[in-house]
Each structure stands twice: as C-alpha cells, then as structure tokens.
Amino acid sequence: MKRRSTKARESQLIFGKHPLLEALKAGRGFDKIFLQKGMRGAYSNSVLELAKDEGIPVMRVPTEKLNRLTRKNHQGVVGIVSLIQYFQLEDILAHVYDRGEVPLFLLCDGITDVRNFGAICRSALCAGAHGVVITAKGSASINADAMKASAGAIEKIPICKVRFLDKAIHFLKYNGLQIVASILETDHLVDQVDWTIPTAILLGAEGEGIRPKHLDLADTAVRIPIAGDFDSYNVSVATGILLYESLKQRLNN
C-alpha cells in the first residue's frame, strides 16, 4: 500500500499554539483538534471554548501521538484541517425553500466507514438530494479516501456538520420534513412512502443501525425487499436504492 508522504500529511495540519488559535478565531474548519495531555490554563480553555462553539471534537493525547502527526515543533497542539467547507443546515434548508424546491436530505447516524460515506454522497448528488447531515463526533472523516469514493461529489453536495443529530431531526420536522428511517424490522416497504413531499432519510451505521433515540423520532420506517434470507444491503447500496425510489417518484410527480 502506498503511504502518503509526511509533507502531504502535514499540508492538512495546523500546529503550534498561536497559529491554531488564530485559525480557530478566523473560522477555519477543522475535523478535529489534538491537545497534549496535561495542558491546562487560559490557552487550553480558549481552544476548548472556540472548538465547542464550532462543533469541533478536541482529543487529549500523549506527546507521542502529536509527534507522529508532525516532526515539527507543535507546542502540544495539532489541528486537522477540513478538506471541505461545512454548511449550516438552517441555511441550506432555507435556500432550498427559497428556490421553490422540495427538500431531500440524508441524516447519517454513526456512519464511520469513509468509503461508504463517499459512496453515499455520490448517490445523494446523483439523486438530487440537497444535503448530507453528519455529527461532529462519531462520523466518517472526510479524507482523501472519502473524496475518492465519492468521485468528487463531496465537494459538490453540501455537508452539514451538527453537534447533536436529534436536534437536527427536530429542526427538520419543525420545518415540514418527514423523517424516513431505513431499517430491517418493518413490513412497510420503500415504495409505500410518499417521497414527493419534503423528506429526510435517516441512515444507521453498519452493524449498530440507527440509535433507538433517533429511530423514535422518525415519522415512518421502511424496509428494502431482499430475495432469500440474506441479512441486508450495504448501507451505501441501501441509500442508493432509497434515493432511486425518491427520484423516480419525484420525476413522475
């Protein structure tokens, strides 16, 4: 397997106390920030406060971890810069309604596989979805592998990063979207849903599925038919099937 060079990895990093703090104040996007264990005081508190406001995960790690990220003088702090611009869910939804379009969003509940996430974004863009919602913690990293799997779609479809998925679900429901969960334990099939109305599709992680507290917020749950007794579709394949049904109904409406 070909390894990325140290220079290539460091191009996605901001390290050093002053550069990282200034980048946070300027609104620079980070996927995560690493602070050296034991770092305390005013600087640490400032980073934690600014990162919390932006929904950026902060991890306390040993010095060895920081040294593996960069050979340069990191001063106990390293931030991984986002490869893309994240959008506010409220802004994207308002823009969709302003254009007179029927909203269609994806809600990713704990999907961590970068290739699955990339494929999901690719299908979402092809099917006319308006945005993909992920959480700041517990979601796939948007890295080079995810970008490759999406065939560039990640750079074209709005990705909305939120702190709490349940709050995003409540917001979408309040603004007129039905929440459709994709699960195995239901007799309600995918083509028995009206996909022509404002909709957000709730997707669970491989293995764990949708968290119960999020599933309880869904307006309906659907199942994709499977021939035989095999377990289930891969989450990215299932997403493509759900989006195809949505697109088919909307085109025929």
DSSP state for residue 176 in the 8-state scheme: T
8 vs 65: which has the higher pLDDT: 65
Domain assignment present for residue 70? The answer is yes
Residues 93 and 72 in one domain: no
* Type of residue numbered 40: R
Residues 188 and 138 in one domain: yes
pLDDT-based confidence at residue 228 (cuts at 50, 70, 90): confident
Residues 103 and 46 in one domain: no
Which CATH number belongs to the domain containing residue 143 in this structure? Answer: 3.40.1280.10
- Render pLDDT for 105-133 as a digit per residue (tens, 0 to 9): 999 999 999 999 999 999 999 999 999 99
* C-alpha to C-alpha distance for 139 and 211, rounded to whole angstroms: 13
pLDDT at 96: 98
Alpha helices in 38-158, H assignment, sequence order: 42-54, 63-69, 89-98, 114-126, 144-149
> Hey, is 180 helix, strand or coil?
strand
Strand partners, 204: 109
Domain assignment present for residue 5? The answer is no
Percent of the chain past pLDDT 90, that is, above it, reads: 72
* C-alpha to C-alpha distance for 28 and 233, rounded to whole angstroms: 37
pLDDT-based confidence at residue 5 (cuts at 50, 70, 90): very low
Q: Which of 81, 108, 141 is the last residue of a domain?
A: 81
- Render pLDDT for 187-218 as a digit per residue (tens, 0 to 9): 899 999 999 999 999 999 888 899 999 999 99
- Render pLDDT for 39-56 as a digit per residue (tens, 0 to 9): 999 999 999 999 988 878
pLDDT-based confidence at residue 233 (cuts at 50, 70, 90): confident
> Hey, is 89 helix, strand or coil?
helix
What is the residue range of 183's domain? 89-252
Domain assignment present for residue 2? The answer is no
Which CATH number belongs to the domain containing residue 53 in this structure? Answer: 3.30.1330.30
Residues 224 and 117 in one domain: yes
Count the domains in the chain.
2
Task: Write out the two tokens for 31.
Answer: 């996927």
Residues 122 and 211 in one domain: yes
Residues 110 and 229 in one domain: yes
